[in-house]
């Protein structure tokens, strides 16, 4: 999945994962290309989308939720994104979320019982949702029958991609 990171954070993970040999499908609820924003206000790069989320063919080894404030806020209340994330966890498959993207886990109830990290401003939300929150570059948590990979911000992108690659 793709969204609007504060910088083109997780959209930058797509080419990195492809360079590592992974087949990556970028999907959004609308099926429209992703407009990124720098610092949540200045338009950044536009990244192409492969398919509308409802038409994405799973199962997926990893569902990656990109960061940034604006689209992460919209993503957390999107019923199609919630369905995909719940299905992924329910199937015991990996979810990766960076920056503000763990908000989706709060809305779906999937943060409860997980140890994770995220952008500083959402850590209280994560803790209130029942997560144990750590301040680490990347956190991999296998609790509750599925693996969660989280990172804090764009500076953690290399460690985030490495953990996804390993998963």
Is residue 141 flagged as an active site residue? Answer: no
Is residue 99 flagged as an active site residue? Answer: yes
Angle between helices 157-166 and 9-19 (to 10 degrees): 40
Catalytic residue among 11, 22, 100, 141: 100
DSSP code at position 143? G
Tally of CB atoms within 10 A around 138: 20
Instruction: Taking the CA atoms of 85, 91, 96 and 102 in sequence, report the sign of the dihedral they define.
Output: positive
Q: Write out the E strands in 62-108.
A: 62-65, 94-98
Catalytic residue among 11, 22, 99, 141: 99
Catalytic residue positions?
Answer: 99-100
């Amino acid at each position: 999945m793709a969204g609007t990171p504060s910088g083109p954070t997780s959209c930058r993970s797509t080419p990195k994962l492809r360079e590592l040999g992974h087949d990556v499908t970028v999907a959004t609820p609308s099926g429209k290309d992703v407009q990124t924003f720098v610092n949540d206000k200045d338009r950044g790069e536009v990244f192409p989308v492969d398919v509308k989320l409802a038409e994405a063919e799973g199962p997926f080894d990893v569902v990656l939720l990109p960061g940034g404030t604006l689209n992460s806020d919209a993503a957390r209340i999107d019923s199609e994104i919630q369905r995909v994330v719940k299905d992924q966890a329910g199937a015991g498959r990996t979810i990766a979320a960076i920056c503000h993207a763990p908000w989706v886990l709060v809305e779906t109830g999937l943060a409860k019982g997980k140890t994770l990290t995220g952008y500083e401003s959402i850590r209280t939300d994560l803790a209130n949702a029942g997560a144990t929150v750590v301040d680490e570059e990347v956190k991999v948590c296998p609790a509750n029958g599925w693996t969660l990979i989280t990172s804090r911000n764009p500076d953690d992108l290399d460690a985030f991609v490495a953990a996804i690659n390993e998963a």
